[in-house]
Amino acid sequence: ILSNNIVENLRLHAKSRPSYPAMIHADKVLSYSDLWFEVTCLAASLRQKGIGQSSTVGVCLGDNMGHLISLHALAFLGAIILPMDIRWKTSEKNRVLFKFNATFVITESELDITSDIQVIRISIDEKRSWDGLEPLKTPVQAESLPLILSLSSGTTGAPNGPLITHE
């Protein structure tokens, strides 16, 4: 039985289909059990840095496994995901982070952030900051919690967007 919660669905797949491929990128394949391990270890690292339920976190990553692992780890913690395009200008990134009161941003490279937002750099290919951490066991279980901001600038050019829940 599948759940409305994306993290719970991943956990169920890791339990029932541990060796099945969950993600394929270039020549790298992650099974469901490996993906669950990566997600829960990254969630432990992000929790240590202060990210928790209802934290608004900008995600400014390229199209790679680290991006998907990060999204799942944030959902695991009950954080609100603020998607950001890596191609945006610095001023656009700062405007979106400020508009939605983000307290953290996850990126692969240096960002010139003009506020007190904590920048967390990650990489799936190098030694990961979550290597050696004990994986978290229990995700936040609240399907009505906000999950992601669906961004649009519409015709105004000003960022806005509704909060979407797991439901």
Three-class SS state of 119: strand
3-class SS of residue 13: helix
% pLDDT > 70, the chain: 80
Taking residues 119-128, what's their average pLDDT? 72
pLDDT score of 2 more than 70: no
Asked which of 2-6, 93-97, 122-126 is least confident by mean pLDDT, the reply is 122-126
Judged by DSSP in three states, 22 sits in strand
Whether pTM > 0.85 for this model: the answer is yes
**Phi, psi (deg, nearest 5) at residue 16:** -90, -25
At residue 116 the predicted structure's pLDDT band, cuts being 50, 70 and 90, is confident
Give 98's contacts (C-beta < 8 A, 6+ positions apart): 115
Q: Are 42 and 70 in contact (CB under 8 A)?
A: yes
